Chains A and B, each alone.
Chain A
Amino acid sequence: MDHERRHVAPKCRHCRYFRNDAAYLEHSFPGLTGMSSGYGSTRSDDGICVRHDRYLRADASCAEFLSRDLAVVSSPLTAPIPE
């Protein structure tokens, strides 16, 4: 198994478990588009951690960081994360 690993800061924005796409957030929070938006400035680049089921700043971090930037041939670590 070959792994190509690039150094990235261990922050949520680089973590495999972090989702902050605006469309995804609008889908994940029922009612968000009724009086707000996933595309607004006040949201900054916050997103959902599917590992901890929390809504976090992109520059947050934790000990379970897993880089999304791993390019692998095959590995159980790259199985799609259930959403």
Chain B
Amino acid sequence: MANVSVQQDRIAKAPLRWRELWLKEDWWAIWLGLGIVVVAYAFFAHGGSIRWIAVTPAKWSTWSQLGSHFADNYARYVAQFLVWLAIFTVALTVLGHRARDFVPSFAFLYFLSVAIFAIGQWDKANTYNLEPPLVALVVGMVLSNLIGLPRWLDAGFRVEFYVKTGIVLLGATLPFTLVIWAGPVAILQASIVSIVTFLVIYWVAIALGLDKRPAATLGAGGAVCGVSAAIAIAGAVGAKKEDASIAITVVIIWAIAIIFVLPFAAAYFHLPAGVGGAWIGTSEFADAAGFAAAQTYGDLAGHGAVAGTGDQAIFAYTLIKVVGRDVWIGIWAFVLAIIATTRWERGVPGSNPSAAEVWWRFPKFVIGFVLASLLITAVTSGLSLADYNKIAVPALVGPIKDLRTWAFIFCFLSIGLTTRFGELASAGKRPFIAFSAGAVVNVIVGFLLSAIVFAAHWENLAR
């Protein structure tokens, strides 16, 4: 049962306001992510590097090579584990989680992540499509759905926290000039698809006889940022609790399916990495799921299966999904709250929303993403391209990128470990049909915009 204090529950609750800085995981993702970036820069500025702690499994082809790697570097892995454990434990304890549950759970997660990372470094991994994000998902889902894990272990499977921390670290590896150059197109493309998708889901839901509130909740889940958007809009319009649960189920089903389908569909069409990443950014529903798909496509590019680089897929995805879609959730919530309050069925608890809602619902981790990008761009701006690649990449940007990869693997594994299909609310035929109609349109329009209209833009991203 949730660890809720009934006594605390009886005291009038003031808005969080500035207490958000330590009571929302978005801000902790910023503190941890930016903290890592600042420490990395401090080392770099003094001629050093955090490379030692940012250890990753090396490429291998024989078991003895893999064994030698771990034997030679076990101290680095232990140190890295302890650093991750320390910073995550502090953050999650302040957020209200129990350290005695989180510590063993994260140990389990880290051990499994090392194994999955190592699998991805096998020189035959690409041959068998053993991309780490997909392996992590499948392993996680098998463990949680077929074998079963004690519920207290969920304490360490914090999907959103890991992906937000990873996104902040990603900012440090993405030049701010790229955000400026590609941002407007990302916003335009994402806005077109978001509005079209919302309207399709909403009107199909209404045509099927669903109420306006669940229709809007489903629409937001498909159009903006998945489960987080569904929950945000459900609250904004005052949906029934069961409608929010149904929206969560439908989004999860589609998001999981897209992870496995879209990367291979993009490969089938021989889409360059940046174009594939943009398509995934437009058509995947949740950030965490989208990064799994984008990382998979990036890995395909890294192995030469598609043109372009892994970074192009990740950057394109991030620009579309985070800059083009996520940041607008507050506006969606504000507008829909006004519509629900003034034009929909009365008698549902509500009130006119404040415009401040746009800020309070803003996904704050994006601030960390931007700040990390600005910081690293600023401190490396004096370097020539040759020096950037020779000096900054191995000593500064590279280690941060590797730590980002770790955070994403924690996230992908956690998705699988927390997705228990038997516990999801029954989706219901009508909500599923409405959402599916929007999802299909979303995928088609996303493909048209990514692979045709703006193809040259995404293909040349970060070249």
Contacts and interface: CB of A to CB of B under 8 A. Distances in A.
Interface in A41-73: 41-49, 52-62, 67-69
B430 to A, nearest CB: 19
A20 to B, nearest CB: 7
A40 B160 contact: yes
A37 B161 contact: yes
Interface in B152-183: 154, 157-161, 164
Contact of B6 (A12, A58, A80): A80
A37 B158 contact: yes
A41 B361 contact: yes
A42 B361 contact: yes
B255 to A, nearest CB: 6
A52 B1 CA distance: 22
Contact of B349 (A16, A28, A33, A52): A52
Contact of A30 (B15, B25, B424): B424
A69 B8 CA distance: 10
Contact of B232 (A29, A31, A42): A42
A34 B419 contact: yes
A31 B160 CA distance: 12
B252 A31 contact: yes
Contacts of A32: 227, 231, 248
A19 B9 contact: yes
A41 B364 contact: yes
B238 A57 contact: yes
Given A21-B4, A36-B226, A52-B349, A68 B9 contact: yes
Contacts of B363: 40-42
Contacts of A11: 351
A65 to B, nearest CB: 9
A35 B241 contact: no
24 contacts: A30-B249, A30-B424, A31-B249, A31-B419, A36-B160, A36-B226, A39-B24, A40-B26, A40-B160, A40-B164, A42-B329, A43-B232, A45-B360, A48-B241, A54-B240, A54-B349, A55-B235, A55-B238, A56-B238, A58-B13, A61-B351, A68-B9, A68-B13, A69-B11
Given A12-B349, A29-B244, A57-B353, 18 more contacts: A13-B15, A14-B12, A23-B96, A29-B231, A31-B424, A34-B159, A34-B419, A36-B248, A41-B27, A42-B333, A42-B362, A43-B228, A44-B360, A45-B13, A49-B349, A53-B240, A55-B240, A58-B15
Q: Which 9 A-B pairs have the closest CB atoms?
A: A46-B235, A36-B227, A37-B160, A62-B349, A27-B2, A35-B286, A39-B25, A24-B2, A41-B26
